[in-house]
Amino acid sequence: MSIEPAWSGAFDRGAIHEVAALPFAGVREWAFGGSTGAGVRVAVIDSGVDAEHPRVGGVVGGVAFHLDAEAEYGYVEDEGPHGDLVGHGTACAGIIRSIAPEAEIYSVRVLGANLKGRGALLHAGVEWSVEHDMHVANLSLSSKAEAMFGPLHEVADQAYFSGTVLVCAANNLPGPTYPSQYASVISVASRAGSDELALAYNPHPPVEFGARGIDVDVAWAGHGSITATGNSFAAPHVTAMVALMRSKHPWLTPLQVKAVLHAASDNSVPGPDS
């Protein structure tokens, strides 16, 4: 078994306690049952996506952001086809595709070949997702830069009010990172298990949800696969759940999506007034 990433301890066996939820009878079936994610636009903000990987099966479109000191905002935006510089984004897209096979995946590349990037590019990727009316965006990345706290908070709120659900992986190391710390996003850490739809709620945030993310077989570069552990791979499980949910119930707001995920968590029980 791999070493658990930071924030995963809240979802260890024995650490998960029951939490009171809204009294939705059969909420999981209502939320996910029979859905394929059809009609839902999903942005994978990452290192790019290999559209030809058999586990991805194509992308609808996307954009790549590159640093450029001479550009007005310090970066340039190239819309159109591009590859994955690492394999990380392809892994996330493959997970989403396995759960929501008919979701429309868009690749938003903001990371370089070293799997690192500037906060300004992350900000640009989220902003692009909002401007292009993505229903949900997967962010298996984050920024530790204090200077990005305000700008990323602002664009996360913009997404929230515009109807784009941001699903954000917590950092694998302890300490605050953004935007996973914000209340306007759905924050995710890893938990053990093989069930792709397993979900647990943590009543003591900042990380609210735990999903499968330990020893996961994921797509990777060169049309291959690897076994990987990390909060990065837990987040796309939840992103896919959101895609299933918004495909069946497109009227759900980001606030309602989070409430339904809370009620659909494995450790949720009907509230005391139900």
For residue 161, report the phi and psi dihedrals to the nearest 5 degrees: -75, -20
Distance between CA atoms of residues 20 and 95, nearest Å:
29
Active site includes 232? yes
Which candidate in 190, 232, 247, 265 is catalytic? 232
Which candidate in 82, 88, 123, 262 is catalytic? 82
Q: Could you give the angle at which helices 119-131 and 149-162 cross, rounded to 10 degrees?
A: 10
Active site includes 46? yes
* DSSP conformation letters of 90-155: HHHHHHHHHHSTT-EEEEEE---TTS---HHHHHHHHHHHHHTT-SEEEE---B--GGGHHHHHHH
Angle at 262 between CA 273 and CA 174, to 5 degrees: 130
Active site includes 88? no
SS3 at position 200: strand
Which candidate in 8, 35, 46, 180 is catalytic? 46
Distance between CA atoms of residues 241 and 49, nearest Å:
20
- For residue 188, CA distances in Å to 58, 89, 241, 265 come to 26, 17, 12, 13
* Catalytic site positions: 46, 82, 232
